[in-house]
Structure 1
Amino acid sequence: MSSTSTVRVSVKGSVASVCLDRPESYNAFSKAMRGELSDALIALEKDPSVRVVVLHGAGRGFSAGVDLKEGSEKPSEEVLEGEFRPFLECIWQSQKLYIAAVHGHAAGIAAALALACDFVVMDETARLTLAFSVIGLIPDGGLVWHLSRALGPRLALEAIIEGRQLDAQYCMQQGLANKMVGAGRALSVAMTWAEELAKSAPLAASAAKHLIAASAHLDLAETFSAEAKAQTKLAASADHRRGVDAFLNGTKPEFRGD
C-alpha cells in the first residue's frame, strides 16, 4: 500500500503498520495528516487480508496532538467532527484489531487516538499527556469517555484539571495500557503481538471487541442476550467448524474469517 507525505503504511501478511510521519513536528496533527490518516484507515478497512493494525509515531514520540502552529478558522466542533472523528470512528467501528505502540509523548488528542485502539503497548518512557487545561480547554476526541471509564469520575477529573502526564506505570496500574516494555521496544513488541493476534479467529475477535464496547451501555441481561445473538452467528461460521476439527485432531486451526 502506498504511503503519503504524513502517514506511512506497510502491510506484511495479516498485519498493517501505520506510522504518523511528521517527526520534525513531533507528529503533530496537521490538516493534511488528519485527512491522510482517515484515508489510510478506510483503505485498510477494505483490505480483507489485514486483521491487525499497529499505529505508531516516527522520531522522538507518538504525537504532540493538534498542530497549534497551523491553526484553523473553523469552529472546534466542525474540525473535531469533520477531520478527527473519521479516523477515530474507523477504529471504534472496525472489524479489525488495533494496537497503539506508544513511545515518548502521546499528547492531547493523540492520547485519544492511542486509547481508541483495542490494545496499548507503552515503553517505559511513554506518557499520555493531558495538556488541555494548560491552554484553557478540555480533553476531546473521546478522551473524557476513556479516562472516566478507566479511572472513575474523581481520578479522571483530577487528571484533566491538573493537566497531568500519565506515565506508563500508572497507565498499566489503571488499565489504560496492556503492556509496558523497555525503552525503544514498543513498536517491535506491538508488531510481534500483532502477528500472534492475527492468528486468532477474526470473526470472534471482532464480536468480542464490539460486545465489550456495547456492554458499557447494557445491563447484565441485555449483555447476555447480545452474547447469545453473536454466538449464534459465530457457531454457524466455517471458522468455528475449523476450530472444532482442529481441537478434535490436536492441531492448530487456520482461521480464514468466514
Structure 2
Amino acid sequence: MSKTAERATTANGVAQQGHVSCPVAPPRVSARRRRPGVIALSLALIASGGAGVAVLLLQVGHRTEVVTVVRDVQVGQVLTERDLGKASIALDPAVKAVEAADLESVVGKRAAVELKPGSLLAPSQVTKDSLVKAGEQLVPIGLKPEQVPATALVPGQKVQLVRVPAQGATSSDTEGETSPQTVSGRVVKASQAAPGTGVVVVDVATAAADGPTAAAWVAAGTLRLVLDAPDGS
C-alpha cells in the first residue's frame, strides 16, 4: 500500500471516528404533582368572580321608577301633579324615595320642607297634617340681620317669643316687670334673607290665645326670637 493510500485511509478513519456519536439520553422531566385542594380553590375563585360580576351587572341594569320634584314647593304648600314628575334611576337601597307607583298617594299632601326642582321626593318630606294645627295661629316675624340666629331655622323647631323693652323706654316703664314675658311657638317656615335689607321673615305657630299678644309685640318692635334647646331640654 502506498503512502498516499495510507494517508487516505488514515484520514478516512479519523473522519469516520469524528462522525461517530454516542447515544444521548433524553432529559428527565419530573412531572409536577397536581394538588386536588389547589385545583378546587382555583375553580371556586373563578366561580365567585363570575358571580360577583353577574351581581354587579344586575344591580347596574336594575332601575326604579321614582317621583321627582319639578317645581319649587314652599313649606306647607299642598302638592299637585304639576309639582311632581317621574324618573327611572338605578336607586341605591340606602336612598329612600317615593316610587312612581305611589305618586297619587302624595298628591294632596303638604310639603313638610321646602322642595327644589330636580330632587327626589322622600316619604319624610310630605305630611298629611297641616303645619298650623287646630287651636293655633300663625304669627309672621321679621328679623333684622343681627337678630337672625346663626343656627338655621327649620320647620318644627321650637322657639320662645320674648318681649323686650322698647327702644328709649326708661327704667320706670319696666320696673313692674320682674321677668320677661314669653310666648312659646314653633317655626313653620323661614324665608331667605331679603336682598338689600337682609331681613328674614319667620312664620311662627303659637297658641290661639297668644297670637294677638305676639303680633302686638311685633308691631311695637319689642319682640325677639329665642331658640329652645333640642327636645325642649
What TM-score range do you get, normalising by the shorter chain?
Answer: under 0.3
Report which of the two structures shows the higher radius of gyration computed on alpha carbons. Answer: 2
Structure 1 length normalisation: TM-score? 0.20
The structure with the largest strand share of the pair is: 2
Query: As a proportion of its length, which structure holds more helix?
Result: 1
Q: Normalising by the residue count of structure 2, what TM-score does the alignment of the two structures yield? A: 0.21
